[in-house]
Structure formats: structure tokens, C-alpha cells
Amino acid sequence: MNVGQLRLLIHGVTRFHDALEKKLETLHIDTLEDKLLLKNGNYLYKVPFRDGHAVLKVYYGDRSIFRYLRGTLGNLLFAGQTSFMPKARLSTEVACIHLWRQNGLRVFEIYDVKVDAPGVPEGGYVLYEYVPGRHFVNLFSDPEVPEEEKLALYRRFLKEWHRRHDLAMKLREPRLIHENGDLKHVMLWQDDLVWFDFEMCFRSRRRVKEFVAREILAYLKSLGKTVGPEKFQKYLGETVKHYPGREYLEYTYTYILRNPNPARRAARWLDFRFKPRARKPFSKYRVALALRDRLQTLLTRG
């Protein structure tokens, strides 16, 4: 982490925690029993706020301390990611949201409000904007949405996707890569593409190109599972045609199957050769091969 990243992190976290102390910005909630929106390791509640609703995200969920420690050790020692501990995930998410917004990407608003509710730990929650948009995973799988509308939206997504990747490369900023990127974590709301889920991020400024490749494969895997094998070929063609950064697409094959690191290359070769899961139609290996073949076909025709 460089000086600029550290300042942004400190600014975001300090601003958030200072806001929690404002006496005039307190939200009192008598009970959360009937307000649970989602339980996914965290607790998300849809709560009344001002003239509408907000989402109260409590980062202390139903995981044990051993799960937090195991996840943190795995992230820090092997995955090159940030800590899995609750307060660390909160701080990471707040800092990433500020960073993405600073770079022109639509993310949830953070409300500078102190929440007074039973069972909500001090310093362990954030109050977010409630955005009832359509998640891409549901939108692209919906047969009622015209295919032309889906393709237009996907082309728009590809341009914004590439702009963010290009920005991450130019700034050497790993936090602009979506660590948990898939169609479940981007939605369409009031004609905006809204990105979310930033609890963890990558840390190395030297490996941003790898992280771009990883995210591309993650999203394409999710897309394939969402639209199915037949339509996936069409969307793969759209990706090659409308994603402006051909170099980033080409590097996905190098990253996953021709990695310059001999140990990683050997481990992935063994994984692909012997694990049944790695040979499924939308494994990262299959997707990288399909993308390489589509790029080669385009080059031959061009």
C-alpha cells in the first residue's frame, strides 16, 4: 500500500467513525427481528430511514472466531488479499467505495448516521443506501427481457468494465479490481450500473494485470452459468468485439494456463488435468480456452 492509498483509507475510515459520533445523526430502531434482508455471513437489514429505507449491514455475523482467523490467514498468506476479520472487512469496504466513487463508478451511498438498535455492535456496522435494482444474474437469465436489450446492456457493461481495468492498470491500484466479481454483484438501477461487495480486495500493486485477468474470468464464468452454453458463445463474441482492451483478454490464457511463475503453472496444470471440477464447461480453465479460441478466430478472419 502506497502513501496515497493509506491516506485514502485513513480518510474514509476516520470520516465514517467520526460521523457515527454525531449526536444529531442517530437512527433509533426498536427491533430488527422483522427487518432481515439477507444473512450471508453478515447480517443485512432493510430499515426505515428518512422518507424511505436504508440497508444496515452488520459485519459481525454467524461465523466463528476460528473461521475469521482461518480466512484471514488464507487471505494474507496465500491469496494476496486483505483481512477477513469483521472490522477489517468494514474498513476495506468503506475505503473501496470511496475510491470507486472518486473514479466515477456508481456505488452505494454511505449514510453518516449512528445506529442505535439492539444487538448492533459499536464500530461493526455501516448504513448503506437501499438500491432495489435488478441484479445482472437475474436480468440476463430472465426470458422476458428482450435479447436486444440484454446485448445493449452487456455492451455498455463491457465499456465501463474496461475503463475500470484500464484505470487500475494505469494507477497500479489493485482495489479497483472486483475481488468477488460476478453477475451477482452488479445491478441496473435507474439507468446506472451499480457495483457492490467490496469486503475484501487485492493488495499487490505489482500484480494488477493478474488481478484484471482473474476478474475477467470470474465474470465470464458467471455469465456462462447464467445464460447457458449456447448463448454464452454469442456473449463471448460480444466480449471480444466490444471490450476495448484486447491485451487484457489475451492475458487471461497466459495467467491461468501459461503463468510465468513455474510453481503456479505446474499447480494449475495438475488441477486442470486431474480435478473433475476444473474440467466443467464454465471452469476458469475452460473459459480461458474458449476466450483464447474466439480471439484467435477473430484474428484469422481479420
Percent of the chain past pLDDT 90, that is, above it, reads: 88
Q: What is the DSSP string of 62-111?
A: S--HHHHHHHHHHIIIII-B---SHHHHHHHHHHHHHHHHHTT-B---B-
Q: What is the pLDDT of residues 42-56, one digit of tens each?
A: 999 999 999 999 999
- In the chain, domain spans: 3-129, 134-301
Q: What is the pLDDT of residues 135-164, one digit of tens each?
A: 999 999 999 999 999 999 999 999 999 999
pTM for this predicted structure? 0.90
pLDDT band at residue 108 using 50, 70 and 90 as cut-offs: very high
Exposure b/e, 19-54, CB count within 10 A at least 16 = b: ebeeeeeebebeebeebeeeeebbbbbbbebeeebb
Q: What is the pLDDT of residue 62?
A: 84
Is-contact 214 254, C-beta < 8 A?
no
